[in-house]
Structure formats: structure tokens, C-alpha cells
Amino acid sequence: MSDNYKHIENHNSSEKEELLFFSNVEIPYETDKQDVWKIIESKTGEKPAGKKISFLTRNKITAIAATLLLLIGSSLIMRFYTKTISTPKGEHLTVYFPDKSSVKLNAQSSVKYFPFWWRFSRSIQFTGEGYFKIAKGSKLEVASSNGKTIVLGTSFNIYNRYNLYKVTCLTGRVKVVSTSNKEAILTPDYYAEIDQYGNISVNKPDKPEAVTDWVNGMFSFSSEPLEYVIREIERQYNISITISGNLNHSYSGYFPKSMEIEQILNLICKPFGLTFVKKSETEFLIFQK
């Protein structure tokens, strides 16, 4: 037995086959690369993959990397893509969320939410005033600069203007949380107010249903600062009202949006000895006589 075959006998069967193969393949040192492949093919009857294997592997790696990047990119889009809807002065708008929950936005109000992430987390950022109807499901959170409201399935009204955060529960139960992490649980017909210091007070109004009168084009005020009333009129009629002097008055009353603006201004000015001047179609001045 030759030295080569003695050396082969010291290996396992798989290694023996490889060594026997290469011991039978005589390749001159001068043979170029293409001829080497031809010799191997003639001995095995199969085309060697050679560089083709390396090329396919790189393609597969590239495809896997591209797929992973696509998945990561899609996940990031789903998680962080937001949709913002706002109403200008003089307009109301109903917004429907992916689970058919809805909010009726009063003038100069807005909502921002994550439409593609809604099934994982029902979260809304809100400012202005809105009447919410929430479909039953997982916890939903409505966050504003002055507080947040947490619900499951219910309806409620949020007023968030002038550092005042007021939530009125109409059906179901809602939790109101202040910026100082104080909490209050509301049942139907109760409302909670959060002041600028994060304190919460809970009360029951005489007419809880009046809080959503604005949805039907009726505006009700109960001992509201007169300046707040005037600013609400600005929003609803898309006008500008300049106030001359300090108006330290509280106003109680109601009126429909169908009334002419001059009639409304006369209605709120007369009891306090105030007068107004129409400077243009959209500009008015209110002052003390």
C-alpha cells in the first residue's frame, strides 16, 4: 500500500472519499482556473458551484437585510405616525377613530392620535372642547396640557382652555388625572375641574345635559367670566372682538347660533352697561359706556 493510501486509511469514511477523489485528479501546475473546473467536472459529472455559491449567499444576505429593514421601518411608521385634525373658527367637525369611537370638535379644537397603533394603544392628544363617544374596548387615554382623562366605554365632554380643564361624564365612568397626579372618578352627570395648580374639584351641575348644547348649535353659560363668553362668541362666529377696559363680570344665559351676531352682542352687553361698535364685517369693539 502506498504512503498516500496509508495516510487515507487514518481518516473517517467522508474524509476518505474526499482524499481518494483528489488523489485521483491529476492537475498540472500550469493549468489555469477554467481548466481546473473542467477537470473536476469530468471526474464528478456535476458542475461545481464555485463562485456562484458565494454570489447567491451574498444575495440572500442582502435580501434578508432588506426584509429586516422593511419590517423595522414599517413598525416605526405604525408606532410613530400621527394624524392631527383641527377645526378653525366658526366650524364644528366630527372625527371617527379606527374603532368607531368619535369626538365632536368645537371651533378651534384639535385631536392628534396614532391611527396605525390604535389597536395596541388607544391614545389621543387633545386641546379645545370636544364631546367624546368611546367604543368599549381597552383603556383609552385623552391627554391635554392641563390633565388627562382615562376611560373604557363611555361618553363625556372635555373643555380645555385658558388653563382650565373641565370633564363632564355623561355615561359610564371616567377617571380624571391632574398634572400633579391627583385623581377623581366621575359617574354620570358629575364634572371635575382641574385648576392651574393641579387641584381637582368634583361637582354636579343643575343641568348636566347643557354641557353639550353646543353640539346642537345652542350655547349655554352659567356664571362664566364675561371675557370667556366673548372669546367663545369669537370662535363660533369667526370674528374678532376687541375689549376696551377690564370686564370683571360673570354671565349666565343662552342663545342659539342661528341668531345674528349683533343680536348676541347686544344681549350680553346690555345687562352690564356695555356697548359695542361694528368696525367691519368681522371686527367689533366692546367698551364701557
Residue 53 is predicted with a pLDDT of 45
Verify that 71 and 90 share a domain, yes or no: no
Cα angle, residue 118 at apex, residues 114 and 120 outer, rounded to 5°: 120
Verify that 104 and 167 share a domain, yes or no: yes
Domain endpoint, select from 160, 193, 210: 210
Quick check: 73 pLDDT over 80?
A: no
Domain assignment of residue 161, given as a range: 82-210
3-state secondary structure of 143: strand
CATH number of the domain bearing residue 224: 3.55.50.30
Residue 196 is predicted with a pLDDT of 83
Residue 240 is predicted with a pLDDT of 96
Span 22-48, mean pLDDT? Answer: 55
Verify that 202 and 106 share a domain, yes or no: yes
Cell numbers at 191, concatenated:
364634572
Measured between its terminal Cα atoms, the distance across the chain in Å is: 128
Residue 77 is predicted with a pLDDT of 65
Contact 44, 62 (CB under 8 A): no
Q: Sign of torsion, CA 54 57 61 66? A: positive
234-265 pLDDT, tens per residue? 999 999 999 987 778 999 998 999 999 999 99
Verify that 104 and 68 share a domain, yes or no: no
CA-to-CA distance for 80 and 64, rounded, in angstroms?
24
Domain endpoint, select from 210, 238, 255: 210
Residue 238 is predicted with a pLDDT of 94
Verify that 201 and 238 share a domain, yes or no: no
Number of folded domains in the chain? 3
CA-to-CA distance for 204 and 188, rounded, in angstroms?
9
Number of H helices, E strands in the chain: 6, 18
101-135 pLDDT, tens per residue? 999 999 999 999 999 989 888 999 999 999 999 99
Local structure of residue 36 (DSSP, 8 states): H
Domain endpoint, select from 30, 52, 79: 79
CATH number of the domain bearing residue 129: 2.60.120.1440
Verify that 105 and 19 share a domain, yes or no: no
166-187 pLDDT, tens per residue? 999 999 999 999 999 999 999 9
